[in-house]
Amino acid sequence: MHTKKTSAQLKQIARGLMIGKYRNAIGIMLASDLIINTISVVSATSNSSYAGVIIGLLISFILVILTTILLVGQCSFYLNVACNQKYQFFDLFTGFRVHPDKTILIQLWVLLCTILPLVPSIIALVFALSTEDMVPLFTLGCGLFILGCGLSWWISLRYSQVFYLLLDFPDYSAKELINMSWRLMKGHCGRLLYLQVSFLPLMFAGLISLGIGFLFIKPYQYMTYTLFYLDLIQE
């Protein structure tokens, strides 16, 4: 039976793999951010008319889809590096070639599943604002919001491997990939959560460096998450 690697072991391997790869990784990250931020600026400049609001919502939807497709491209780059395969800057656009329709379906499903747990708290808070004695409902809404956030995070952990799986199993349907990620993460959400939390000190260092540190922290983080996936898939 495959023995799972610890967070420290995954991070140590990631540091070794990233030696000499940061130039490509930073270029991919900056290009992705530039594309997304450019569209965000266009969305922000839409006027407040009815047509402007519709256009703004449409651009926001396109932005979510584009962000996801570019994320698939970044996953492709890190998988190639981790598996000692040929890698290049244009891996960023792999998501446009590998069934973008499945990527969209998967992302819409994940968004729906992570938003639904928050609906009860939103309803409770809306009703609280419309009543004179708002304290009980407001308290209930806050409690439901905390529980909803926890459930949403857990769901996102269960679906966290789905885009890596899309790259490894492109012939599988969106439903099969979603179910596979759910099964693959059974019993491992705590491991991934611990791995995510372990990066918090580095994220803080990135903030106090005025964001410059993120140029190196993010690639290191993504590589570690990729190794986590590969460690899971060994079985």
With respect to residue 2, please indicate whether it lies within any of the assigned structural domains.
Answer: no
Overall number of domains in the chain? 1
Residue at 151: amino acid letter? L
With respect to residue 218, please indicate whether it lies within any of the assigned structural domains.
Answer: no
pLDDT score recorded for residue 60: 78
With respect to residue 165, please indicate whether it lies within any of the assigned structural domains.
Answer: yes
HEC readout, 114-182: HHHHHHHHHHHHHHHHCCCCCHHHHHHHHHHHHHHHHHHHHHHHHCCCHHHHHHHCCCCCHHHHHHHHH
Residues 192, 205: Cα–Cα separation, whole Å: 21
With respect to residue 16, please indicate whether it lies within any of the assigned structural domains.
Answer: no
What is the three-class DSSP state of 211?
coil
With respect to residue 139, please indicate whether it lies within any of the assigned structural domains.
Answer: yes
Rounded to 10 deg, the angle between the 189-197 and 214-233 helix axes is 160
What is the three-class DSSP state of 48?
coil
Going residue by residue through the chain, which has 235 residues, state the pLDDT in tens, using 9 for 90 and above.
668 889 999 999 999 999 999 999 999 999 998 988 887 776 666 555 666 667 777 877 888 899 999 999 999 999 999 999 999 999 999 999 989 999 999 999 999 999 999 999 999 888 888 887 778 888 888 999 999 999 999 999 999 999 999 999 999 999 999 999 999 999 999 999 999 999 999 999 989 988 888 999 999 999 999 999 999 998 6
pTM metric for this prediction? 0.89
Rounded to 10 deg, the angle between the 189-197 and 7-17 helix axes is 60
Cβ neighbours, 10 Å, residue 225 = 19
pLDDT score recorded for residue 44: 60
Of the candidates 201, 204, 190, 194, which has an alpha carbon nearest to the alpha carbon of residue 224?
194
pLDDT score recorded for residue 131: 80
Residues 94, 107: Cα–Cα separation, whole Å: 16
Q: Give the containing element (helix H, strand E) for 67.
A: helix 50-82
Query: Residue 144 sits in which domain range?
Result: 99-183
With respect to residue 103, please indicate whether it lies within any of the assigned structural domains.
Answer: yes
Contact status, residue 177 vs residue 106, Cβ threshold 8 Å: yes
With respect to residue 90, please indicate whether it lies within any of the assigned structural domains.
Answer: no
With respect to residue 108, please indicate whether it lies within any of the assigned structural domains.
Answer: yes
Residues 230, 73: Cα–Cα separation, whole Å: 17
pLDDT score recorded for residue 42: 62
